Amino acid sequence: MRARQQQPVEGGFHNVHNIMARQFQKFGPIYREKLGIYESVNIINPEDAATLFKSEGMFPERFTVSPWVAYRDHRNKSYGVLLKNGEAWRFDRLILNKEVLSPQVMDNFVPLLNEVGEDFVRRVRVQIEKSGRGKWTADFTNELFRFALESVCHVLYGERLGLLQDFVDPEAQRFIDAVSMMFHTTSPMLYIPVKLFHWINSKTWQDHVKAWDVIFMQADKCIQNVYRDLRLQRKSAKEYTGILSTLLMQDKLPIDDIKASVTEMMAGGVDTTSMTLQWAMFELARSPGVQEQLRTEIFAAKQAAQGDMLKMLKSVKLLKAAIKETLRLHPVAITLQRYTMQEMVLQDYRIPAKTLVQVGIYAMGRDPKFFVKPEQFNPERWLMMETKYFKGLGFGFGPRQCLGRRIAELEMQLFLIHMLENFKIETKRGLEIGTKFDLILIPDKPIYLTLRPL
Annotated binding site for heme: 402
Q: Which stretch binds ligand 2DC (CB under 6 A): 233-241, 262-270, 289-297, 380-388?
A: 262-270
| DSSP percent split of the chain into helix, strand, coil, nearest 5 | 55, 10, 35
User: What values do phi and psi take at 137, rounded to 5?
Assistant: -110, 130
- Of these partners, ligand HEM, ligand 2DC, none, which one is at the site of residue 65 (CB under 5 to 8 Å by kind)? ligand 2DC
Residue nearer to ligand HEM on the CB measure, 63 or 205: 63
**Distance of closest approach, residue 219 Cβ to ligand 2DC, in angstroms:** 10
- Of these partners, ligand 2DC, ligand HEM, none, which one is at the site of residue 226 (CB under 5 to 8 Å by kind)? none
Binding mask 168-197 for ligand 2DC (x = CB under 6 A): ----------------------x-------
**Distance of closest approach, residue 9 Cβ to ligand 2DC, in angstroms:** 18
**Distance of closest approach, residue 331 Cβ to ligand HEM, in angstroms:** 7
Among 17, 60, 14, residue whose Cα is nearest residue 335: 17
- Of these partners, ligand HEM, ligand 2DC, none, which one is at the site of residue 309 (CB under 5 to 8 Å by kind)? none
What is the three-class DSSP state of 39? strand
Residue nearer to ligand 2DC on the CB measure, 72 or 90: 72
Going by DSSP bridges, is the β-strand pair 356-359/38-43 parallel, antiparallel, or unpaired?
Answer: parallel
Q: What is the CA radius of gyration of the chain?
A: 22
Stated as kind and residue range, the H or E segment containing 41 is strand 38-43
Residue nearer to ligand 2DC on the CB measure, 178 or 290: 178
**Phi-psi region at 303: left, alpha or beta (left = phi > 0; alpha = psi -120 to 50):** alpha
**Distance of closest approach, residue 278 Cβ to ligand 2DC, in angstroms:** 15
> What are the CA-CA distances from residue 443 to residues 35, 240, 304, 438 (Å)?
24, 37, 37, 10
Query: Can you point out the beta strands (E) in 132-204?
Result: 136-139
- Of these partners, ligand HEM, ligand 2DC, none, which one is at the site of residue 273 (CB under 5 to 8 Å by kind)? ligand HEM
- Of these partners, ligand HEM, ligand 2DC, none, which one is at the site of residue 335 (CB under 5 to 8 Å by kind)? ligand 2DC
> What are the CA-CA distances from residue 109 to residues 266, 408, 433 (Å)?
15, 11, 33
User: What values do phi and psi take at 395, rounded to 5?
Assistant: -105, 15
**Distance of closest approach, residue 177 Cβ to ligand HEM, in angstroms:** 18
Binding mask 265-284 for ligand 2DC (x = CB under 6 A): --xx---x------------
Residue nearer to ligand HEM on the CB measure, 49 or 346: 49
Residue nearer to ligand HEM on the CB measure, 271 or 426: 271
- 201, 230 contact by CB (below 8 A): no
Binding mask 40-69 for ligand 2DC (x = CB under 6 A): ----------------------xx-x----
Residue nearer to ligand HEM on the CB measure, 15 or 413: 413
Among 43, 82, 209, 258, binds ligand 2DC (CB under 6 A): 82
- 332, 441 contact by CB (below 8 A): yes
End-to-end Cα separation, the chain, in angstroms? 47
Nearest-5° angle of CA 385, CA 389, CA 393? 105
- Of these partners, ligand 2DC, ligand HEM, none, which one is at the site of residue 401 (CB under 5 to 8 Å by kind)? ligand HEM
- 273, 153 contact by CB (below 8 A): no
What is the three-class DSSP state of 40? strand
Alpha helices, DSSP H, located in 239-316: 243-250, 255-268, 271-286, 288-305, 309-313
**Distance of closest approach, residue 142 Cβ to ligand HEM, in angstroms:** 18
Question: Interface with ligand 2DC includes 439 (CB under 6 A)?
Answer: yes
Among 256, 263, 234, 258, residue whose Cα is nearest residue 248: 258
Beta bridge partners of 336: 359
**Distance of closest approach, residue 248 Cβ to ligand HEM, in angstroms:** 17
Q: Please give the residue ranges that form the binding site for ligand HEM (CB under 6 A).
A: 62, 81-82, 93, 152, 264-265, 268-269, 272-273, 276, 327, 332-333, 336, 394-397, 400-404, 407-408
List the binding residues. Answer: 402
Among 211, 321, 333, 393, binds ligand 2DC (CB under 6 A): 333
- 120, 113 contact by CB (below 8 A): no
Binding mask 282-321 for ligand 2DC (x = CB under 6 A): ----------------------------------------
Among 138, 117, 130, residue whose Cα is nearest residue 420: 117
- Residues making contact with ligand 2DC (CB under 6 A): 62-63, 65, 82, 190, 264, 267-268, 272, 332-335, 337, 439-440
